[in-house]
Amino acid sequence: MTTFAPLAPTISVPPLKVADETFVIHQVQPALGQPLFVYINSMVIRGKEPIIVDTGTPANRKQWLEDVFSIVEPEDVRWVFLSHDDVDHTGNLEQVMDACPNATLVCNWAMVERHTNCFNFPIDKCRWVMHDESFDIGDRTLHAVRPPVFDSPTTRGVFDPSTGVYWCVDSFATPLPDPNMGIADLDPDFWRFGMTLFSFGAVSPWLTMVDYDKFGHSVDRVQNLDITTIAGCHTPVLEGPFIQQALDTTRGFPSVTPPPLPDQSVLDQIILALSQPVS
């Protein structure tokens, strides 16, 4: 019988500088029922017109706001980029927009339509940017490029050609045995399995239905960018050969048999483990 770890609160990991004026804001969530951990990251580009990329989750609100505003003053923030409308990317959106009076919210029509029932979008402070469009933030132009794996039709990643950093949103997601592990610390087989499990189970179950060649074009679109660093919500930072390895694994997804996902028997084990007294 599998041994399951009890649920635990989120774990804070200090922000990480990944390129010039570019910082990943970390949050770590223990995986449900397993001694594994899942990143829930966002990003700040400080630059001439600072931008916050995604807004974390409510579960880590106090620490997330402290981490972000230790890097940039709220009144200096000029842009807030939402990759899509899931709660782990919009969890502190209201707090950020209230704290940053000079910020324009980069979103899109579909996001407003889907998410307006729980957030009052300040339409006069919005900028709608679609996949394959660009916007200028003073000292650089950012390009909105959809990643190959995604779980919302509103999704756009963002590429900064001045640093080579690409925000891949939910692509290349993987659990970690230890929240302090970098990608080079992971066993390669564990990493490939983790990406496959998360891609099919948590992000893109539609991968089983896509045309292999057409899907390959979406991978090409990202691969043809001059990327030096990949940061994303649920992945360690990828650099060097790990970028190509992640893209190669992703390219093969349409021909992969999805791994089995936890079912009711697993939930029963989790409930039983949680009911045991803490020693």
Higher pLDDT residue, 262 or 157? 157
Residue 87, domain extent: 16-275
- Overall average pLDDT of the 32-38 stretch: 84
Structure token pair of residue 186: 């992971």
| Burial class of residue 164 in the structure, from the number of CB atoms within 10 Å of its CB (0-12 exposed, 13-18 middle, 19+ buried) | middle
pLDDT in tens, 106-154: 999 999 999 988 899 999 999 999 999 999 999 999 999 999 999 999 9
Q: Which residues contact 257 (CB under 8 A, 6 or more apart)?
A: none
Domain membership of residue 10 (yes or no) is no
Specify whether the CB–CB gap between 40 and 86 falls below 8 A: no
What are the residues whose beta carbons fall under 8 Å from the beta carbon of 117, sequence distance 6 or more?
Answer: none
pLDDT of residue 270: 85
8 found inside a domain = no
What confidence category does residue 5 fall into, taking pLDDT thresholds of 50, 70 and 90?
Answer: very low
Does 4 reside within a domain?
no
pTM: 0.93
Q: What is the CATH number of the domain that holds 105?
A: 3.60.15.10
| pLDDT tens-place string over residues 169-225 | 999 999 999 988 899 999 999 999 999 999 999 899 999 999 999 999 999 999 999
C-alpha span between 148 and 194 (Å, rounded)? 17
The number of domains in the chain is 1
